[in-house]
Chain A
């Protein structure tokens, strides 16, 4: 499964530019689903038909990643940019980005050498991307082109580090769960959503079309286990987290109970999660149409929205086992 994770996290796909990662995912899931389609916004919807007696279940793992988009090319070929999703300037200095056409760029910021650097917080509009061009004319990318971050996947044993663990690790979990399910009474719609990082947009339209009876997002969550972390009762290596609440959603109590009971029955270690900042596709699914009972399985992740997001492989395997057990059904809310 680590090879699959590496392929997923290293693929290109900033919000709104998911065609590359979509092709990778389609190739991976095609053998284990009955239908595969892409909707108007670019969501990849993998369908596995139930054997009957179940309900339609939607699983959402977002395939977009945070990135940047070019807003201006100056006369000397430097690019100004805006973020796609929650990008903090402190994570960018000296970083590298790659565009859809393969162009590599370096993020520059001169102020760190100035006397006031110690008190000055970097701003995105002070930064620029240098793609090695010398003029506007020889610049291989232009306004509106988006780039993702570049950072290789590293296997530290139990811990895995990469860019875009948020949320490719959940794409990997969802694909692996699909592979491990032989039969289920439920019609399964596993959706690899677009544009989560700019406001859970893809999940909203996907859920509208699917009209599921229950929705499960799979996403990363933050942890409280680093030296001066804000207190949070989620740690790496303690198992997948069952979300109770985040800043955009109160998980459906029945879904939380169903997830916990399923984990207990299967002997899967899990953590209960209350996340104070951030939300997931479950928020969009929950308020779609007349409302959908929704919850979220989270993979604990350190350094979220930096180019080096860290997860624990045992939590990943636990999440696969839990998701597969849930989808095998029956759904009991």
Chain B
């Protein structure tokens, strides 16, 4: 097994399962050797944990291939006839999805996957299955992106937990204080520096793992997920791009907003737009307050998309604010103001590019943003799409004076 550098995690996992039978004392060296060989394959760690911790490890093992099969079935559903599929490296799950349905694939674009060349192996395998494959260098793959209808990649991840001293060990005087980030750690289950460095490196990025869940099917249709600031805005934009407009619409999914509006700045410089509408997931602080406290929550969930008149980065263009208010009234779309001068958005960068760009921000209210899990109302989301779509249509005649 140790010689195999091109198989994906699913295949290695199947081989590992065959090796994992018998007493725990015999399992341990096997697991240790395999994990040392493939430290970054998160699913192998899960398998090892299952072998040691599950009462009925046999049954749990049985369910794992079934989970993989479900992923493959799901993957096949997203294939459409004549699809040009872009992939990278070699995931056996992706291979199964594609090779099992060659008639639904017109072409596969694949990067070779240096240094081990997993992508070259995938290209050979798919060719044998009768699929037309274009193999490129890894860097060259970027050039092929515009050709692709669909991107399918396998995913491994190293799981971790954010650890902090248990409450028993925190002095009473400090318990009421907010935890100090410098005392928190990410625990990936390694026991020493070498073990940790096999899994991750300095400079590796870490994201939160908030599972998507629907909390309320009716009512406000609330959902929780990580990163609703600003994947909510991304989703609104994706919906808007499905429509046709009289105006030229540049939908930009920007990078590096959270570290200083950097992606938007260069995108706006290149596009030189006449008008900018920034889509956001914004602060929603409508939690219960003392009843006599009649001061503003920034936004309220369920009250519709929030229009920003001013935040720390921009004073919204009055013509655009008025346009949004007008189309909201005409189409009876619930809406609210973001009623605090707080936070900043890509509009802060865009409105100052070139000779200036009239800009406004429309946001889906999201509770608990900048935390590992956030919550929004799909009603607010739908109304945001509706509002901005109507505003884009209303811009047909140009910006009203």
A16-B310, A82-B341 known; A72 vs B295 contact (CB < 8 Å): yes
Which of B296, B318, B356, B357 has the largest count of A CB atoms less than 10 A from its CB? B356
Contact B309–A40 (Cβ < 8 Å): no
Tell whether B294 is near chain A: CB-to-CB under 8 Å.
Answer: yes
B 273-299 binary contact with A (CB < 8 Å = 1; else 0): 000000000000000000000111000
Q: Give Cα A198–Cα B358 distance, bound, in whole angstroms.
A: 16
Contact A69–B341 (Cβ < 8 Å): yes
Q: Give Cα A148–Cα B354 distance, bound, in whole angstroms.
A: 29
Contact A144–B321 (Cβ < 8 Å): yes
A40-B355, A40-B357, A72-B339 known; A143 vs B295 contact (CB < 8 Å): no
Which chain A positions have C-beta within 8 A of B341? 69, 71, 82-83
Tell whether B383 is near chain A: CB-to-CB under 8 Å.
Answer: no
Tell whether A201 is near chain B: CB-to-CB under 8 Å.
Answer: yes
Q: Give Cα A292–Cα B61 distance, bound, in whole angstroms.
A: 69
Chain A residue nearest in CB terms to B313: A199
Which chain A positions have C-beta within 8 A of B294? 74-76
User: Which residue of B316, B339, B355, B358 contacts A208 across the interface (Cβ within 8 Å)?
Assistant: B355
Tell whether B351 is near chain A: CB-to-CB under 8 Å.
Answer: yes
Tell whether B79 is near chain A: CB-to-CB under 8 Å.
Answer: no
Chain B residue nearest in CB terms to A209: B355
Tell whether B395 is near chain A: CB-to-CB under 8 Å.
Answer: no
Tell whether B368 is near chain A: CB-to-CB under 8 Å.
Answer: no
Q: Give Cα A16–Cα B352 distance, bound, in whole angstroms.
A: 13
Tell whether A262 is near chain B: CB-to-CB under 8 Å.
Answer: no
Chain A residue nearest in CB terms to B274: A40
B 138-154 binary contact with A (CB < 8 Å = 1; else 0): 00000000000000000
User: Which residue of B315, B355, B357 contacts A195 across the interface (Cβ within 8 Å)?
Assistant: B315
CB of B66 to closest CB in A, whole Å: 54
Which of B321, B341, B355, B358 has the largest count of A CB atoms less than 10 A from its CB? B355
Residues 336-368 of B contacting A (Cβ, < 8 Å): 337, 339-341, 351-358
CB of B254 to closest CB in A, whole Å: 20
Contact A15–B315 (Cβ < 8 Å): yes
CB of A210 to closest CB in B, whole Å: 9
Contact A84–B296 (Cβ < 8 Å): no
Which chain A positions have C-beta within 8 A of B321? 144
CB of A238 to closest CB in B, whole Å: 36
Which chain B positions have C-beta within 8 A of A74? 294-295
Contact B355–A144 (Cβ < 8 Å): no
Which chain B positions have C-beta within 8 A of A71? 296, 339-341
Q: Give Cα A13–Cα B337 distance, bound, in whole angstroms.
A: 22
Q: How many residues of B contact A (CB 8 A)?
A: 21
Which chain A positions have C-beta within 8 A of B351? 41, 201
Which chain A positions have C-beta within 8 A of B358? 40-41
CB of A165 to closest CB in B, whole Å: 22
Chain A residue nearest in CB terms to B275: A40
Q: Give Cα A17–Cα B315 distance, bound, in whole angstroms.
A: 9
Residues 56-101 of A contacting B (Cβ, < 8 Å): 69, 71-72, 74-76, 80, 82-84
Residues 250-289 of B contacting A (Cβ, < 8 Å): none
Contact A84–B337 (Cβ < 8 Å): no
Contact B354–A208 (Cβ < 8 Å): yes
Q: Give Cα A41–Cα B357 distance, bound, in whole angstroms.
A: 7
Chain A residue nearest in CB terms to B294: A74
Which chain B positions have C-beta within 8 A of A43? 356
Q: Give Cα A195–Cα B357 distance, bound, in whole angstroms.
A: 14
Q: Give Cα A198–Cα B351 distance, bound, in whole angstroms.
A: 13
A74-B294, A80-B296 known; A198 vs B357 contact (CB < 8 Å): no
Tell whether A34 is near chain B: CB-to-CB under 8 Å.
Answer: no
Contact A205–B296 (Cβ < 8 Å): no
Given pairs A82-B340, A144-B337, A205-B353, 14 additional interface contacts (CB within 8 A): A16-B318, A17-B318, A41-B351, A69-B310, A75-B294, A80-B295, A84-B310, A125-B295, A143-B309, A143-B339, A205-B355, A208-B354, A208-B355, A209-B356
Residues of B at under 8 Å CB distance from A?
Answer: 294-296, 309-310, 315-316, 318, 321, 337, 339-341, 351-358
Residues of A at under 8 Å CB distance from B?
Answer: 15-17, 39-41, 43, 69, 71-72, 74-76, 80, 82-84, 125, 143-144, 195, 198, 201-202, 204-206, 208-209
Return 26 A-B CB contacts under 8 Å, by A number.
Answer: A15-B315, A17-B318, A39-B355, A40-B355, A40-B356, A40-B357, A41-B356, A71-B296, A72-B295, A74-B294, A75-B294, A76-B294, A83-B341, A84-B315, A143-B337, A144-B321, A198-B315, A201-B352, A205-B352, A205-B353, A205-B354, A205-B356, A208-B354, A208-B355, A209-B354, A209-B355
